[in-house]
Structure 1
Amino acid sequence: MSLDDLDENVTANYAALGEETTVDLDPETRNELAMLSAAMGTDTDELLRRGVHALFQQAVSSGDLDFHLRTGYDVTYDEYLAGATYEEMTGADQYPERDEDRRYNM
């Protein structure tokens, strides 16, 4: 897969999410969410938004997001943000492959 494939999938997923998403919560998650809501005095919608932001930031900081993007799409998050791969940005993809057998032939 490529940078274009990733961009198409992100766009499709964004559209599929819409404005609201319903999630079934298991008892442990429901208990933790209730505890956070009571302790912080914040509604559950805001806590869920914060949770997604925190998970995203942790995945970016740890390199986990880049690992999964490189595995699935052969790009990094920085390349996605730039809209081009490192090879495209540096021009490395513009040169033909060297033929090692004919390297010193004149």
Structure 2
Amino acid sequence: MSLDELTTDVESTYADLDDELLVSLDSQTKNELSLLSAALGPETTADLVRRAVHLLFQSTTDTGQLDFHLRQGYDVTYDEYLSGMTYEEMSGGISPSQSDDKERRYQF
């Protein structure tokens, strides 16, 4: 997979979120959400869900897990996704179609 495929998948998922985001919760998750809601006092529980997604995203990015999964699934990193080009393209090196997995400098 590639940077273009990642961008397509992200845009497609983004477009589908409003239609498919009806989440059923197990009792443990309901209890934790209720406790957080009581303690933090958000306007709605949806505010807590948004915070949770931001926290998970930040944690996954900070620990390198996001880059690890993106590299495995799409052969790019989050920085490459944000810039819209691979490291090889940024440095003027070999094009992605010419790259060899053994020559990649950025590996996990």
TM-score of the aligned structures, taking structure 1 as reference length: 0.85
Q: Say yes or no: does 1:5 pair with 2:8.
A: no
Aligned to 2:52: 51
Instruction: Report how many aligned residue pairs link the two structures.
Output: 96
Q: How does 1:1-106 map to 2 (within 5 A)?
A: 1-18=1-18, 21-42=21-42, 43-93=44-94
Larger Rg: 1
User: What letter matches 1:63 in structure 2?
Assistant: G
Secondary structure, counterpart of 1:22 in structure 2: coil
Structure 1 runs (4+) greater than 6 angstroms displaced? none
TM-score of the aligned structures, taking structure 2 as reference length: 0.83
Q: Quick one: distance in 1 between partners of 2:74 and 2:3?
A: 7
Q: Quick one: distance in 1 between partners of 2:4 and 2:78?
A: 13
Q: Quick one: distance in 2 between partners of 1:61 and 1:19?
A: 30
Q: Quick one: distance in 1 between partners of 2:62 and 2:18?
A: 27
Aligned alpha-carbon RMSD (Å): 1.7
Task: Provide structure 1 residue ranges, at least 5 long, that are not aligned to the other structure.
Answer: 98-106
Deviates more, 1:71-80 or 1:20-29: 20-29
Q: Quick one: distance in 1 between partners of 2:83 and 2:66?
A: 16
